[in-house]
């Protein structure tokens, strides 16, 4: 059933848009988009897919609402599920994505007795994502105008918010963004661990192991002193691009401050993580920097264990980084390996009780 307010609910739309633009977290804004459009369209389930340049899904959000009766009273249960690197997408939906991307406008597909409806979400004149829902009838002209209006507000506000969380020199997410999103990231990791332990039917994508690495440009002060800050800035920009090229688009990369970066990646196991971070180091070592010539980076990484406070994981990776510096630079060390070798003493910082 379509909610009649979808044709005459302008005050409701404005109120929901006001609530959306009061949020200061990009991931929460994405969730707010679904919480806004679902009730306006009178539907209980909506989805948002963020994609990369190759139309691969980086992140998916699934929103559902249901009415639960409890001792004669009714309450609405609102649920958001977030999945990174979503693989469980039907061929029909992938085909729909491709049609929307090529036509640059909303499209629908017949799916049994229902319609699968998809709207593109633009950014910098390219498709960055899709808003998807399913129901038994087509979108009315008024609903279409509402959807386009909400998506335009969302896109503009998201871009504004995103720019405030990016480093002006490199374009990477900044330290504020990392610190603001650590709790959300750890909640996701905890949810995945909990889902695995319970063996439930929720969407849980492999790999479930994440790793955090702190990377630092070796002898950067000497580069600045010898060639000047302008050349130093160019080195940081080139290092950024090389790191981005060696990592996947679904991986997270931050400029943590100065010549220091933080990367968070998903990997099946320790060896895969070690190889990925080694690849980033080699990409810098093998590149010839104009005027400067040879530049290297050092790194330290640790398993992003959801039962350990995120600040402690950063501290562990940072300790491994300093060990790499002390060992001669141009290398990446793992915290746990250093502890086993007796080079570092195991941290005694507290953990968090997940359940």
**214, burial (CB in 10 Å: exposed 0-12, middle 13-18, buried 19+):** buried
- Beta-strand ranges (E) seen in 136-175 are none
Annotated catalytic, 259? Answer: yes
CB 80 within 8 A of CB 62: yes
Choose the catalytic residue: 259, 260, 275, 285: 259
Residue of 142, 163, 141, 161 whose CA lies nearest to 153: 161
User: What is the spatial distance between Cα 66 and Cα 70, in angstroms, rounded to a whole number?
Assistant: 13
- Cβ atoms within 10 A of the Cβ of 156, count? 12
CB 309 within 8 A of CB 349: yes
- Give the active site residues: 259
């Amino acid at each position: 059933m379509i909610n009649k307010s979808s044709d005459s609910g302008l005050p409701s739309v404005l109120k929901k848009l006001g609530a959306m633009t009061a949020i200061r977290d990009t991931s929460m804004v994405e969730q707010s988009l679904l919480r806004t459009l679902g009730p306006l369209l009178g539907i209980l389930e909506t989805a948002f897919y963020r994609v990369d340049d190759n139309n691969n899904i980086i992140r998916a959000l699934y929103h559902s609402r249901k009415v639960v009766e409890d001792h004669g009273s009714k309450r609405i249960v609102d649920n958001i599920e977030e999945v990174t690197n979503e693989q469980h997408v039907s061929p029909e939906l992938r085909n729909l994505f491709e049609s929307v991307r090529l036509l640059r406008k909303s499209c629908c597909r017949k799916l049994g007795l229902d319609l699968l409806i998809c709207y593109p979400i633009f950014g910098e004149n390219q498709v960055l994502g899709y808003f998807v829902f399913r129901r038994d009838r087509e979108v009315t002209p008024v609903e279409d105008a509402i959807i386009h209006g909400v998506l335009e507000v969302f896109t503009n506000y998201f871009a504004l918010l995103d720019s405030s969380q990016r480093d002006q020199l490199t374009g990477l997410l900044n330290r504020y963004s990392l610190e603001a999103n650590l709790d959300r990231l750890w909640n996701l990791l905890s949810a995945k661990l909990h889902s695995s332990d319970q063996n439930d039917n929720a969407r849980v994508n492999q790999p479930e192991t994440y790793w955090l690495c702190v990377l630092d440009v070796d002898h950067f002060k000497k580069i600045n002193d010898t060639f000047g800050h302008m050349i130093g800035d160019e080195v940081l920009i080139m290092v950024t691009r090389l790191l981005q090229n060696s990592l996947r688009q679904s991986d997270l990369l931050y400029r943590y401050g100065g010549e220091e970066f933080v990367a968070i990646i998903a990997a099946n196991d320790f060896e895969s993580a070690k190889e990925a971070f080694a690849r980033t180091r080699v990409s810098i070592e093998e590149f010839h920097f104009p005027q400067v010539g040879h530049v290297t980076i050092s790194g330290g990484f640790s398993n992003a264990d959801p039962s350990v406070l995120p600040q402690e994981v950063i501290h562990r990776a940072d300790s491994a980084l300093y060990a790499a510096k002390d060992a001669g630079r141009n290398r990446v060390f793992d915290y746990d390996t250093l502890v086993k070798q007796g080079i570092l003493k195991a941290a005694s910082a507290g953990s968090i009780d997940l359940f």
